[in-house]
Structure 1
Amino acid sequence: MVSQGYRRPSQPCQSTKILLLLPSWRRPANHALLNGTKNGLKHTNIKPRESTTSWSDSGPAADRTVSAHSEMSTLPPKARPVLITAVNGFISSNITSCFLSHGYTVIGTVRSLYQHAWLQRLFDTQYPGLFSLVEVADIGDDGALESIIRARAVVSVIITTSLLDTNQNTPEPYISKSVDIALASLRAASRCPAVQSVVVTSSAWAMATPHVNVREALTASDYNEEAIGLVYDDAVTDPTYRGFLIVMAANAKKGRAMWDFVRETKPSWRFNKLLVDTTFGNIVSATDQGFPSTASLVNGPEAARSASFSLTPQWFVDVEDVAMLHVAAATRLDISSERIFAYGRRFTWKAITGILQNCRPEAEWTTDINEDEGECLVECLTREAPKFFAPWDRPKAGQTWRRQSGIPYAIISLWSRIRRRYLFTNGKEKNAARGRFTSFGCLSRSVYAYILSGPLK
């Protein structure tokens, strides 16, 4: 039997801030604060908003205003197929699950149907009839993607495909190939008139290299110029550091190239990018995926220590929050031409090992901890939210919304805090260990989700 991994309880979370993000037909009909929305939107009356996008040379305009909406317009599900590339990944499989849970039909691409047939079995069990898997052997083949988009009348394309190989010693041809693969998906979507939105999963590394004890202020127009410069500097000789720099530079260059493509071709669809920092959280199937990406740290102290380089103090976000942001960016008609910061909270390696030590006291997680590892001092420059966020929630007295290019990142942190209630899968376990884990907040919820996902090695 295929493991379904960590699954939160089925009852809806009674938080207006989360519920109002969802299309109205997915909100609980009995929610007291949703007067007039319990019957949902009339799908036949929904029309895409005409684009009011303005462009700058560096990407989305930072000072653009967005018109107010009394109701957040969204693309209705059912017969609205969403194409998600590379659905076997840690983040992409959670994105897929999130779209399916909201009633959308999802077409997922993988390089090998044989190797990833477990995805079809898993989602057929959870969401019968809504998921189909297709093979695209060459992720840079825009013709193959175009044929799928046209044949299935896809309206939203979620591009999660990315090269990630930190064992590179030279920037080329790795960077050029990364750019070509990214642009292939955009070219395919631009030739298909049915497409209404394209969302790209990008990395926070495209904006800046993580440094400890260094105050930085990030904006929506920033790119990682530091990494781009250093990869061509022969003075950087450390192979591990150089490998990470090449990946960061590739993310920055392909991000800029994608915005240039959209600015020059002016496609009919809305375009948004998510800048995702270190991601923790749910694994959709530990039996089939193992412990990918950051999840590898729960395999034991040695595995955790080997991950410590890429886990220098920085921002993190829960993977299910990342998935929800993709749904919002793809379906909300009032979110367009945005670089969305998926930043939840800051973390340190000491905090992570402390959580793991509490989860498995018999293991020596806290050895070799650098007490002087420092902290992340990066801030995201924000601006006041426009009026179209009013339906979500109104700030309390003395508070103002902080907004960074499309989504108030304070809400991202709020989602994670609310989800602490889902830290344990049953009441007995929750009551027995409540005091040990809830003090760690959403980082603990994310890390502990790994342990609930399957047996540890």
Structure 2
Amino acid sequence: MLSRSSDAVLPAGSLVLITGVNGLLGGKMADQLLQLGYRVRGVVRDSKKAQWLQERFDEAYGVGKFEVVEVPKMQVAGALDGVVKGCSGMLHLVSDISWGPDPNLVITNSKALVLEGMRAAATEPGLRRFVYTSSAAAAMQMRFNEVFDLGPDAWNTASVERALAPPPYTPERAFDVYAASKVQCEQAVWDFVSTQRPRFEANTVLPDFVTGPSLDVARQGLGPTAHVLGALWTGDESFRFLPPHYMVDTGDVGLLHVGALLHPDFKGERVFGYAHRKTWTDWIQRLRAMYPEHKFPDPPENEGQDLSNVIGRPRAESLLKWLGQPGWRPMEESMKEAFDVIAAKYGI
């Protein structure tokens, strides 16, 4: 049961803007904020695709608590100026997740989206908090079987260098381009705060591999990780491209954003959404126990582990506890809900 603390920065009834509200994470955050007594204005590129969300929230929380606004091109100058009016907080989720290999397209588009969001937020005098969805890809170091500290000053400079290397822009460069976009977008957030000195406090959230239930499986699926989970179930070898890292539940990611929006002590922080260490070796062992009738592929040989000591992990978990949750959601619970969806789709 979620609970709103009496020292929350934004009082009950405040209006919060969420960009990309019809996505896996955006819908989850909207639902959590509505549960806590806030109003939500959700920005989408196509309002027809979010009509189901309007109907769902109207029925659950009453008419007038949630609204959808259509902005087809959020990166255009002035596109968000009108929709940010009257908002006390903003969760900025939209980014270029096309997984294209050309950095000139992906990074440029992503930076335009984040900077237009920040510029618009700065025009609203009553807006007190801004939270940007970054990614673990912005901080990861790709160092395995090695104990080291991963702190708030960690940046994935290696992916930036590879992403910005001269063409050809071949498909295998897509991950580095995505990671580089997250590095440069998050750095743009902190540069904006430093140089423009807006009235609001800003935080960023860096979730690692996200899995778990969506609000509506039929309409939202399992989000960006659905292909990887499906590949693991069907035996498609493409799941192996992801190295050892951490994972986090969808709902926990939502709460980290909500907490970063509301907690009075979180100001100018990178919130690390690294709940549990994850390897395919461990996951396949757990999945074989969960679904004994299904045949899973063998794990990668000598896979190794991500042994990084994520310095900000306990502080991130404190946000969950502040909102009434005991801590990180257990990994197996999140896995089971996700793979029950995958099993229903593909069959045992």
Pair in the same fold by TM > 0.5: yes
How many aligned positions are there?
341
1:135 and 2:70 aligned:
yes
Which residues in structure 2 correspond to 1:343-354 (within 5 Å)? 343-354=274-285
Partner residue in 2 for 1:166: 99
CA distance in 1, matches of 2:22, 2:235: 22
Judging changes above 3 Å, is the alpha-carbon distance between structure 1 residues 444 and 273 closer, same or farther for their aligned structure 2 residues?
same
Q: CA deviation at 1:114?
A: 1.4
1:204 and 2:136 aligned:
yes
The structure having more radius of gyration, on CA atoms, is: 1
1:154 and 2:43 aligned:
no
Which residues in structure 2 correspond to 1:52-67 (within 5 Å)? none
1:162 match: secondary structure: coil
Partner residue in 2 for 1:87: 21
Task: Encode CA deviations 1:299-352: one digit per residue, 9 max, x unaligned.
Answer: 462276433323x21011122111111111111222211111111110111222
Judging changes above 3 Å, is the alpha-carbon distance between structure 1 residues 232 and 325 closer, same or farther for their aligned structure 2 residues?
closer
Q: Work out whether residues 317 and 328 of structure 2, in 8 Å CA contact, stay in contact via their aligned partners in 1.
A: no
Judging changes above 3 Å, is the alpha-carbon distance between structure 1 residues 413 and 326 closer, same or farther for their aligned structure 2 residues?
closer
Judging changes above 3 Å, is the alpha-carbon distance between structure 1 residues 232 and 293 closer, same or farther for their aligned structure 2 residues?
closer
Partner residue in 1 for 2:9: 74
Judging changes above 3 Å, is the alpha-carbon distance between structure 1 residues 90 and 75 closer, same or farther for their aligned structure 2 residues?
same
Q: Work out whether residues 139 and 156 of structure 2, in 8 Å CA contact, stay in contact via their aligned partners in 1.
A: yes
Q: Which stretch has the larger CA shift, 205-214 or 241-250?
A: 205-214
Long gaps (5+) in structure 2: none
Partner residue in 1 for 2:333: 445
Q: Work out whether residues 275 and 339 of structure 1, in 8 Å CA contact, stay in contact via their aligned partners in 2.
A: yes
2:80 match: secondary structure: helix
Q: What letter is aligned with 1:343?
A: Y
Q: Work out whether residues 206 and 270 of structure 2, in 8 Å CA contact, stay in contact via their aligned partners in 1.
A: yes
Partner residue in 1 for 2:165: 233
Judging changes above 3 Å, is the alpha-carbon distance between structure 1 residues 185 and 419 closer, same or farther for their aligned structure 2 residues?
closer
TM-score computed with the length of structure 2 as normaliser = 0.88
Q: What letter is aligned with 2:99?
A: T
CA distance in 2, matches of 1:378, 1:179: 28
TM-score computed with the length of structure 1 as normaliser = 0.69
Partner residue in 2 for 1:271: 202
1:117 and 2:47 aligned:
no
Q: Which has the higher helix share?
A: 2
Partner residue in 1 for 2:151: 219
1:23 and 2:4 aligned:
yes
CA distance in 1, matches of 2:199, 2:213: 34
Judging changes above 3 Å, is the alpha-carbon distance between structure 1 residues 412 and 122 closer, same or farther for their aligned structure 2 residues?
same
Long gaps (5+) in structure 1: 1-11, 13-18, 25-40, 42-71, 382-403, 421-441
Judging changes above 3 Å, is the alpha-carbon distance between structure 1 residues 162 and 224 closer, same or farther for their aligned structure 2 residues?
same
1:132 match: secondary structure: strand
Which residues in structure 2 correspond to 1:425-436 (within 5 Å)? none
1:75 match: secondary structure: coil
Partner residue in 2 for 1:243: 174
Task: Encode CA deviations 1:344-396: one digit per residue, 9 max, x unaligned.
Answer: 1101112222333333322211x232131111122223xxxxxxxxxxxxxxx
Q: CA deviation at 1:159?
A: 0.3
Judging changes above 3 Å, is the alpha-carbon distance between structure 1 residues 199 and 304 closer, same or farther for their aligned structure 2 residues?
farther
Q: Work out whether residues 260 and 319 of structure 2, in 8 Å CA contact, stay in contact via their aligned partners in 1.
A: no
CA distance in 1, matches of 2:283, 2:294: 14
1:330 and 2:261 aligned:
yes
- Cα RMSD between the aligned structures? 2.6
Q: Which stretch has the larger CA shift, 257-266 or 171-180?
A: 171-180
1:262 match: secondary structure: helix
Q: What letter is aligned with 1:148?
A: V
Q: Work out whether residues 42 and 69 of structure 2, in 8 Å CA contact, stay in contact via their aligned partners in 1.
A: yes
Judging changes above 3 Å, is the alpha-carbon distance between structure 1 residues 304 and 272 closer, same or farther for their aligned structure 2 residues?
farther
Q: Work out whether residues 208 and 226 of structure 1, in 8 Å CA contact, stay in contact via their aligned partners in 2.
A: no
Judging changes above 3 Å, is the alpha-carbon distance between structure 1 residues 231 and 419 closer, same or farther for their aligned structure 2 residues?
closer
Q: Which stretch has the larger CA shift, 93-102 or 206-215?
A: 206-215
Q: What letter is aligned with 1:89?
A: G
CA distance in 1, matches of 2:105, 2:100: 13
Q: Which stretch has the larger CA shift, 196-205 or 289-298?
A: 289-298
Q: What letter is aligned with 1:446?
A: S
